[in-house]
Structure 1
Amino acid sequence: MMSWLSSTWLSCLFLLLVFVEVPAEKCIGDSSCAGSTTTNNDQHKPCVGARCPAKTSRTSRSYQHTASSDGFFQPGRGSHQQPSASSRVDISGTTADTWGGAPHLSSNATRDCKGIECKLPLRMRLKSRTRVSCTGEGCPPAEGQQSVVRLSDRAAHFIGEVPEFHYSNAELGGAPLGVQLTCDIKPGENEVPSEDALILQLQLAKGQEKFVESLKSQQKTITELQQKLSEQQNLLVSQQREILEQQRRMYDQMDMIKIQYSILLDTVKQMSFQSLQEDIQQYFEAHLQGLQNQVRNHLQKPYSVHKVDVDAKVIDVGLGIDLPDCGPCESDEFCSLQKTPPQCEKCTLCPAGFFQLSDCNENIDRICQDRDECMDSPNVCGERIKCLNTPGGFRCLGVAEKDAALGLCGDQYFFNKELQECQACSECEEGVVAFPCTADSDTICTTTSDTKLSESCSAMLSMPSAKMANSQIFPGLSLRVKEKIHCDVFSPEDSHVVFKQHGLLWIDLNFAVRHSCRNFLQLSLKHNNSEDGYELSGSRIEQPDGKFFQSTSISAAAEVEPSQTLTVVLKSPNQYCNQSKDLHVYDLNTPLSLFWLSHDTGAVAMTAQMSTAMHYQTNYRPTFRIISVSDPYMVSLSHDGRSIKFTESGVVKFVFQQALYAMGPTCVREGFTLISYINRNGSNSELMQVFKSGVNYRDTSVSGSGAAKVSSGDVISFEVLSPAQCNVRYFGENSGISMLSLIWIPTSISTAITASISTTGLPTGAVKNKFLSFNQDVPHDRIIQLIITGQFAHKYFRFTENGGVSVSFNLKLIHSCNVVKVSLNTRINDQGQPSIVAQQIGGQMPEGSQWTSVSLRSSFDVLNGTMLSVSLDCVRGRINQIAVEKGTNLSILWVSS
């Protein structure tokens, strides 16, 4: 700090020497001038000059300074002193007098000076300051001390006080004395002199400019860094995009590798089998050739044997070796040595998409090779789309199904929706083409020119095995389907049915279950063309406590195409239903039946959905909305949407299913009644009634199915009746639980009758396999006839022509049986015992209910002379009463085959 102060004082001295020009003056006067004699005459002459004594009328602006022990200057503790004349710096004397010799010091200068300070005038030397408690501009000046003057006013103030620094009068020939700089500090503060403050202020101003310039350069550098960072970020984002694109390409390549691996595995298996077959054939041929050589050698030897003809197939040379032999085979057959004993088999026909490598002969089957469409036609998928060869076809990777279905596969190929690839169209070898190959369907071949009009098939259902003890059916279980009799219409594949032909389909399903699931179980028929959540038909089974069996029958109509599927799904609305603990399905006889109708019959299928009732109500007439109809001209809705209108005469098979939620004890006691009406020439009449036991604070379904003849302009409508004090809400969802399905068939190939139960011979008490008696509502029908004489009177219906039959039976009764069993029986004329074709059961009556019901529906084929009957069984209980007038009825539909 002392060095800095010294340099500062040197700077001040340099400024004084350069900028202050002091002329030499002579002391004029008598006794006031040192070293001169005065006369009396000059006694009163004023003394002029720098060596004259100071005037007492002007006070000096010098302050006493003292140096602190640490090298900083601090104000002295004494008060402001009046300096003597000798304390003023004489800057007007000679140079030798001022700087050459010792300075002229007054007697009052008692302290010693050190260093450069000795060369300064007394008034510019540091003097001690007294410490005061208050410092700064806001404090009052001490006694006898003037307040500090601001830096901007310091020069003018100083020049006004010191006359020596005034410019001399020009008239007297005086020269300018220059400017004297003083360094001062504020009282009470440790500051440098004011001259240093000016210099520091200038340096700070320059430093501020440099600092601003540095800030600007740094800001520019920061901007450049930000730009570089933004560029790096953009580069990083682009690199990330490239990485994602590479990952996507890698995934595509992995998928392609998986597909190629599966194809390669299949090819290896096929080639392994072919190579094994070729090795076996070569082995036998070589073995036969060796035997032939041995025979020739033996014949050439001079033994007494007869010459024999050697056959390559059958040879016995007495060596104990029996060669395999198939015997004579047809021209299109070959001898298969893989079976024991060898058998003649048909030569393999190369499937579509394969070509023949070698022809079939008597010992070797035909060998086929897959055609590589991607190699034969490199642009089959386009220039930018990858082509992958598959057995019998090819696949365009990344092509949507809708684009492929529009004809992307090309000529003689169709898009297989199941395999999601293009397959070669099949060729009809022996038969004729029923339906040609299209962009999304294969060729349909028929073996005979006579096309069937109808066909009925049946199948068995079973629950899939529970994989674990805690198996939930909340997502839904697909029931297993097993074909009972071979059918040309469909083929079962594990959990679904695959259709083989185009046409219209009527489906009937009988189901009985005892469960402890909360709320209800829902049984549904799902078509593969259905949208998510959309099903053909569905019914809700309510029985939360699992005390007895609950049964339901559902039906549906649909238009089907080859390769489409049908699935039976059982699901619960929540996950509190365990398959192994809470579910027990009754094993019924042939629960699933399908009635197929060809398009050549001219039949029309329609499906409509009911609208949801927003408020609770009792009696309910639904409003329909058509979902699908194969011919809107023949079947349409009425103007209010509450009924179905028919344009031409025919026979109609219908099913009405309504899901509802009921509240009130009277719902259980009186139940619900579904009535179907037919309006003919403006007058309404009932077609049938179906009863359903009621529920309280539960979900359930009401369902009714029947068949009737209709005329041109007839209208069919439906109504659900419920007790007066029963609040019911009716649902109209798109899940099949509230649907109307029907098939209209021309009367030229079909007929239908309805029958009511007879009051005579009603079975009561402990009923075991008792046949029910009926009265035919229609007086006479040519094809379906009720037998009225003999031992089968009023119990059997006889069919006079071959065809398909769809039967619907509804029974309303009161009983105490553990299980009530209803069966459909058929027999041929009077011979043999009746056989059961369909069966349905009903459990115990719900507690508090007056009536209960059982419904049975089924379809099957009949021959000329087939007889049909309905039997009733009661297990551990008795039949108390059967409703005769309302709630019990039978309807039969017949269609020519």
Structure 2
Amino acid sequence: MGHLNWTVQLLSVLAVSTLLCVRAQDISVFDEFPDDLGFDDLGSAIGPIFPRPAVFPECTAGSSCVLSCRYTDDKGNVLPNRAPVRLTMDKQEERLRALVSRQEEVIYQQGLLEQQQQQLVNLLQASTADQQLAALDSETCLSCSPTQWCEREGKTQCRDCTVCQGGYRARSDCTKFSDATCIDIDECREGTDTCKADQLCVNTQGTFVCVESVGRCPKDSYFDLKTKKCESCSVCTEGISFLYLPCGVVNDSVCTPSVGATLSSLWMGKINDPSLVTRAENLANGIKVDLNSFHSQNNSYFQNMPRKGMVKFRKHGFVTVTFNFAARHSCNDFLQFGVRTSELGGLAAARLTELSGKYFQGSTISTTVEVDPQDELSLDVKSGTYYCFKNSNDARYSTTFEEIAADNLAGPMSLLWLSHESAAVFLRAETRQTTYETGWRATFNMKETSDHYILRLDSYTYFNIREGGNLRFSFMQAYFLSGQACRSNGLVVIPKLLKRDGQVIDLFENYQRGVPLQYNSILTAGSVPVEYNDKLFFDVETARSCKMYFYGNNEGVGTVSLLWVPFRQSALYAGMLVNGEDLFGVGEETQLRFQEVNNTDTRTLRQLRNGKLKFKRSGRILVDYHGVLMHSCAYAKVTVYYENRPGATPIPFAQQVQGKTDSEKEGLVLSGAYTVKANSRIYLTLTCAEGRVNEVFNGRVNAVSVLWFPP
């Protein structure tokens, strides 16, 4: 037996008894005690438990001193059945080495103690500073009257609660730390207007107007409520302003100053095809969907071609596509929306599983692609069966494409263009078709990358990043589940980051409820700061005995896209939900609050105390959100709002719905892009229609990321 085994055996004995050592020459030894084991070997292993040779001054250099060690109890009685130990010290140098070794150990322990003391001092100082600030806030807030609320953004002060005037109702009450918010009452929708039967009721802020001559206004005109006449819609000037509110029945176009388009540009639009659900075409082959731009005219980067149902790109660059959509259908197999380009074919596609058609199902498409001038992007819809439209010639089939959600429920489509001058790098890969049970690490085939040095795919699994920056990823995957175990546990996609030191970081968890024997798809998208030689990969988990089939084809139903941007040309914020408990039982629109996890540039992005994210510089943003909730609502909706300045009317620029879940856990994903100005802010809300929210989960299953680019 070696020295180490002997040390362990001896220590186990010392733990229950006392080792008493005296000088002797005629003692027995352990049967397996090695003859060449000196005091220095054993003493260095058991430290101060064993007596040092300094207590025996007779042992000098050149002499041989033998110690007889017997085991005694706490009263000094020798324990029976314990073999004594024999230790021999042959040289003075062994004693000196033991003393030096112990002294070095003491010095090392003293150093550790000093470090711990300094850390404790730092923690106490930081805690004291936080307590002082909290005490100052507390004193001010305690002085607020019952009709006031305490504002803690900037200078802490008491402010009078807002009182909703006529034509408005409270959306949220005034509390200790938040003001009341008022929303306009839509008298026309609620039927409280006094318009005649032949008049059109038009809701306005705080009131309503009865209009008689709306129908006589020509195209590209609107009815001016002040002049009572038809007026031409304003046209936003290219390069000087852009449109964020299109011309309507009774409102003119609203243009805002452009922040420029040197490094980035943005196109936003929606489906413009009311007849889509009434066609009698073969949906199994796919049909093109008309797109309508929110902008009043084209610019130097995009050309909208609504008659052809596509958008044409005018410059080289990288384009990130996001499209939130929802539909009600009972088409056999699935209903699929996909985006494609004239050059590459199918880029990305998302499927909605076959259901009764009573409730909305929402899904999101998101991908990044490199484009050239004259490349065209289009949107198409298809199903696994011909028999899907309402007016199908074969009455034997009752499956129908019922409805596409309006853009105020799910939408819009956004195209964020990024110049090569931003030093961005792009990569695209496709899923390898596979079948797995319980767990799966996604594998891919490389399609293209703009810079193989910065981004590459290793071993079909790991996306290797060779330089620090901000990375935006989107993983779209169509799948088919088999087995009842799939229903209870669902499907979880976990993007992970493998660091250089071997540490693995779970970025978040994206959950989707399992529906056995049905086609479906899941999007996992977000942004994360990366360092040299980090590796991104995706793990998929489900229940034991749940078989998963994953597909990859030329339509983009299984694909990964990466967009890497250097730190100097981007800023990133990431947060995780913290107010899930406050959303229990909520029926009205309520703000989601997140705890900051990452912020790569506080000069550009800042999270305020009210939970909103403030932009200190103008630019463009990509927002990705995923969450898990349970509700009994007809639908739950998450909306991203933009405020041009504090107190301004918030503008919704991305939204997604989730149909009734029958109080089962279900995931919701949303992506969108927008143009922001300096000192503007964004925030997210949750709305429940005709029901209540039962649970919203905190932590990494409910997270948001915002990636900012210069204009």
Bin for the TM-score computed over the shorter chain:
0.5 to 0.7
Check 1:805–1:833 CA distance in 2 against 1; reply closer, same or farther (3 A cut). Answer: same
Q: Describe how 1:487-502 pairs up with structure 2 within 5 A.
A: 487-494=299-306, 495-502=309-316
Please tell me the residue identity of whatever aligns with 2:654: A
Contact between 1:519 and 1:544, CA under 8 Å: does it hold in 2?
no
| Compared CA separation, residues 729 and 831, structure 1 to 2 (3 A) | same
Counterpart pick for 2:361 among 521, 546, 550:
550
| Residue 700 (structure 1) aligns with | 520
Matched with 1:482 is 292
Tell me which residue corresponds to 2:578. 758
> Structure 1: which amino acid aligns with 2:704?
L
1:752 is displaced (CA, Å) by 1.1
Q: Secondary structure at the match of 1:474?
A: helix
> In 2, are the aligned partners of 1:610 and 1:625 still within 8 Å (CA)?
yes
Q: Which residue of 1 aligns with 2:148?
A: none
Distance 1:603-1:787 versus aligned 2 partners, 3 A rule:
closer
Q: Distance in 2 between matches of 1:596 and 1:754?
A: 22
Structure 2 match to 1:612: 433
Structure 2 alignment gaps of length 5 or more: 1-257, 392-399
1:670 lines up with 2:489 in the alignment: yes
Q: Give the Cα–Cα distance (whole angstroms) in 2 for the partners of residues 451 and 742 of structure 1.
A: 22
1:658 has 2:470 as partner: no
Alpha-carbon displacement from aligned partner over 1:581-615 (angstroms, at most 9, x marks no partner): 533100124410011100111111111011111x4
Q: How far has the Cα of 1:488 moved from its partner?
A: 3.5
The 1-side partners of 2:525 and 2:693 are apart by: 24
Following superposition, the deviation at residue 461 of structure 1 comes to: 1.2
Q: Which of 812, 817, 821 is matched with 2:628 structurally?
A: 812
Within the candidate set 660, 681, 687, 1:867 is matched to 681
Cα distance, 1:779–1:858 mapped onto 2, change above 3 Å:
closer
Q: TM-score, normalised by structure 2?
A: 0.59
Query: Does structure 1 residue 733 correspond to structure 2 residue 547?
Result: no
What is the CA-CA distance between 1:558 and the residue it aligns to?
0.6
Larger strand percent: 2
2:262 is equivalent to residue 452 of structure 1: yes
Question: Residue by residue, what CA displacement relative to the aligned partner does 1:874-895 show, whole Å, maximum 9, x if unpaired?
Answer: 0000001001124210011001
- Specify the code of the residue in structure 2 equivalent to 1:803: G
Alignment correspondent of 1:539: 350
Q: Is residue 669–residue 850 contact of structure 1 (8 Å, CA) maintained in 2?
A: no
- Given candidates 650, 659, 682, the residue that maps to 1:834 is 650
Q: Could you tell me whether the CA contact under 8 Å between 2:322 and 2:365 is conserved in 1?
A: yes
How far did residue 518 of structure 1 move? 0.2
Tell whether the 8 Å contact from 2:278 to 2:390 is kept in structure 1 after alignment.
no
Counterpart check, 1:883 vs 2:697: yes
Match of 2:275 among 444, 465, 476: 465
2:642 corresponds to 1:642: no
For 1:748, what is the secondary structure of its paired residue? helix
Structure 1 residue 528: Cα displacement:
0.6
Q: Structure 1 counterpart of 2:657, which letter?
A: I
Which of the residues 380, 383, 389 maps onto 1:569? Answer: 380
Q: Counterparts of 1:165-204 in structure 2 under 5 Å?
A: none
Q: For residue 12 of structure 2, what is the aligned residue in structure 1?
A: none
Instruction: Confirm whether residue 684 of structure 1 aligns to residue 496 of structure 2.
Output: no
Of residues 394, 403, 410 in structure 2, which corresponds to 1:584? 403
| Runs of 4+ that moved beyond 3 A | 466-472, 783-789
Distance 1:801 1:466, change over 3 A: closer
Deviation at 1:687? 1.2
Q: Does the C-alpha gap of structure 1 residues 784 and 843 become closer, same or farther in structure 2, counting only changes over 3 Å? A: farther
Distance 1:469 1:556, change over 3 A: closer
Alignment partners' CA distance in 2, 1:594 and 1:744? 17
2:28 is matched with which residue? none
Distance 1:711 1:591 in 2: 33
Shift of 1:467: 10
1:709–1:751: 8 Å Cα contact kept in structure 2?
A: no
TM-score, with structure 1 as normaliser:
0.47
What is the CA deviation profile of residues 141-164 of structure 1, one whole-angstrom value per residue up to 9, with x for unaligned ones?
A: xxxxxxxxxxxxxxxxxxxxxxxx
Q: Does residue 593 of structure 2 align to residue 593 of structure 1?
A: no
Contact 2:329 2:402 in 1 (8 A): yes
Aligned to 1:858: 672
Between the aligned partners of 1:557 and 1:598, the Cα distance in structure 2 is 13
Q: Secondary structure at the match of 2:421?
A: helix
Q: Which has the larger Rg?
A: 1
Distance 1:660 1:468, change over 3 A: closer
Q: Which amino acid in 1 is paired with 2:427?
A: M
Task: Summarize the Cα distance change of 1:804–1:776 in structure 2 as closer, same or farther, 3 Å threshold.
Answer: same
What letter matches 1:731 in structure 2?
Y
CA change 1:555–1:506 in 2 (3 A) is same
Secondary structure of the equivalent of 1:832?
coil
1:76-91 equivalent positions in 2, closer than 5 A: none
Instruction: After TM superposition, give the deviation of residue 544 of structure 1 in Å.
Output: 3.3
CA contact (8 A) 2:630 2:665 kept: yes
Give me the whole-angstrom Cα distance separating, in 2, the residues matched to 1:451 and 1:834. 24
Q: Deviations over 1:409-467 (max 9, x none)?
A: xxxxxxxxxxxxxxxxxxxxxxxxxxxxxxxxxxxxxxx9x971112221111336259
Q: CA deviation at 1:496?
A: 0.6
Give unpaired runs (5+ residues) of structure 1: 1-447
- 1:837 Cα deviation from its structure 2 partner: 1.0
* Cα distance in 1 between the residues matched to 2:483 and 2:454: 42
Q: Which residue of 2 aligns with 1:336?
A: none
Equivalent residues of 1:609, 1:624 under 8 A apart: yes
- Find the residue that maps to 2:486 and give its secondary structure: helix
Do the aligned residues in 2 keep the contact of 1:817 with 1:844 (CA within 8 Å)? yes
The CA RMSD over aligned residues, in Å, is: 2.0
Equivalents in 1 of 2:276, 2:666: separation in Å?
33
Q: What is the aligned partner in structure 1 of residue 446 from structure 2? A: 626
1-structure distance, mates of 2:581, 2:621: 26
Q: 1:803 aligns with which of 619, 624, 632?
A: 619
Q: Which secondary structure state, in structure 2, belongs to the residue aligned with residue 767 of structure 1?
A: coil
Q: Distance in 2 between matches of 1:745 and 1:722?
A: 33
* Cα distance in structure 2, aligned partners of 1:585 and 1:781: 39
Alignment partners' CA distance in 1, 2:536 and 2:277: 47
How many residue pairs match? The answer is 438
With over 3 angstroms needed to count, the CA separation of the structure-2 counterparts of 1:676 and 1:506, relative to structure 1, is: same
Aligned-pair identity in percent equals 26
In 2, distance between residues paired with 1:786 and 1:519? 45
Letter in 2 for 1:582: F
Matched, 1:723 2:543: yes
- Contact persistence 1:806–1:858 (CA under 8 A): yes
CA contact (8 A) 1:460 1:482 kept: yes
Kept in 1, the 8 Å contact 2:429–2:561? The answer is yes
State the match for 2:317 in structure 1: 503
Asked whether the equivalents of residues 462 and 537 of structure 2 are also in contact (C-alpha less than 8 Å), the reply is yes
Residue identity opposite 1:652 in structure 2: L
Contact 1:670 1:850 in 2 (8 A): no
1:366-415 deviations in Å (ceiling 9; x for gaps): xxxxxxxxxxxxxxxxxxxxxxxxxxxxxxxxxxxxxxxxxxxxxxxxxx
Match of 2:334 in 1: 520
Task: Look up the SS of the partner of 1:608 in the other structure.
Answer: strand
Aligned-partner Cα distance in 2 for 1:800–1:722: 42
Q: Select the structure with the greater relative contact order (CA < 8 A; seq sep ≥ 6).
A: 2
The CA distance in 1 between the partners of 2:418 and 2:278, in whole Å, is 42
